[in-house]
Amino acid sequence: MNHLKAYVSNIQRFSVHDGQGIRTTIFLLGCPLRCKWCQNPETLNSKPVIMMNQGLCAECGACMNACPQRAISLDEQGIMITDNQQCNYCFECTAACYFNARQVSGRQYTSDELFHDVIKDKEFYLSSGGGVTISGGEPTMHTDYCCQLFKMLKEQGIHAAIETCGYTKWESFERLIPVADLFLYDIKLFDENKHKKWTGVSNELILENLIKLDQANQNIIIRIPLIPTVNDDEAEFMKIIGFVKKLQAVEEVHILPFHQLGSSKYKLVGKLYDLEDLPEENNDRVEKCKNIALDAGFRVSIGGAGFKKR
């Protein structure tokens, strides 16, 4: 078999927030959305990124000297900056940095390598009813890769889940349906204009794909990131739940309250973060939204641990 390759930013073992049981969550690089609240900015582009921690930098200059592209320079404030147009992702600079100020996020794995890595925890998956979840980024940007990995996992009896934003051609889901046991499907906003404003894209395709997945009677859990002032008001949340209620196959909803845990990563990857001043999600609002989903007849999890076994 020709084992495909993809870039992985993180392999999170013993995860209990991305589906049922004990799982390994794999974060692939590349996402077509630009949600302003994203807490994994290092996964947005499909290539590895350099994470630069200025606080650890000793200004020794080793990275500048190591760079064959002359892409690194010092600005007027003595801060190391990288010219991304010049950079060719050779990562000589990260290898040269003794202080770990400059690190790379993203390593290429063949599907076979990744399989051998995650299968080490097989006994935990089987004893807890867990398995492997592919997240991102957006996994459907690497559909064939995910299919290869899932086929290998299925041969071992391991539960395979995919976490998706749904913004992809329907053909991606058609290819995934035979090999995926669970779709963790994100809905961020029901209002299309607000969706465009906060994520950069329309939600039309996302909702269309969800309806088709439901008609194909797939195992789907809806995940709603709850973002203060964006979608945590009763009216917007009820619209989302009202839409999901019309689906046949969905019985479970996960509410993921907004936090700021990944906000410091924006500085590390040299990106601007717009929601620095947004408070973390308030418990009363979480409870209100939870009750709306419960009243609609769903099993509801706060934070993403799953109940369902199928």
Assigned token pair, 4: 């495909």
CB of 181 to ligand SF4, least distance (A): 38
| DSSP 8-state class, residue 305 | B
- Cα(114)–Cα(10) distance, rounded to whole angstroms? 11
Judged by CB under 6 A, the chain residues 89 through 108 that form the site for ligand SF4 are 89-93, 96-97, 99, 101-102
Q: Which residue number, 61 or 279, has a Cβ lying nearer to ligand SF4?
A: 61
Q: Is 73 in the site for ligand SF4 (CB under 6 A)?
A: no
Judged by CB under 6 A, the chain residues 186 through 215 that form the site for ligand SF4 are none
Is the Cα dihedral 103, 16, 190, 173 positive or negative? positive
Q: Considering only residues 10, 39, 69, 282, which one is a binding residue for ligand SF4 as defined by CB under 6 A?
A: 69
Q: Which residue number, 264 or 291, has a Cβ lying nearer to ligand SF4?
A: 264
Q: Is 62 in the site for ligand SF4 (CB under 6 A)?
A: yes
CB of 48 to ligand SF4, least distance (A): 9
Q: Is 44 in the site for ligand SF4 (CB under 6 A)?
A: no
Per DSSP, helices labelled H in 177-269 are 192-199, 204-215, 234-245, 264-268
Residue found by looking up tokens 């299919």 in the block: 147
CB of 8 to ligand SF4, least distance (A): 18
Q: Which residue number, 97 or 220, has a Cβ lying nearer to ligand SF4?
A: 97
CB of 57 to ligand SF4, least distance (A): 3
Distances (CA, A) of 139 to 2, 8, 12, 105: 19, 10, 15, 17
Distances (CA, A) of 301 to 94, 117, 161, 243: 40, 29, 17, 18
CB of 104 to ligand SF4, least distance (A): 8
CB of 105 to ligand SF4, least distance (A): 12
Q: Is 268 in the site for ligand SF4 (CB under 6 A)?
A: no
- Cα(200)–Cα(235) distance, rounded to whole angstroms? 22
First to last CA, the chain: 29
Judged by CB under 6 A, the chain residues 98 through 157 that form the site for ligand SF4 are 99, 101-102
Q: Is 81 in the site for ligand SF4 (CB under 6 A)?
A: no
Torsion of CA 217, 222, 163, 42, to 10 degrees: 160
Binding positions for ligand SF4, rule: CB under 6 A: 57-63, 66-67, 69, 71-72, 80, 82, 87-93, 96-97, 99, 101-102
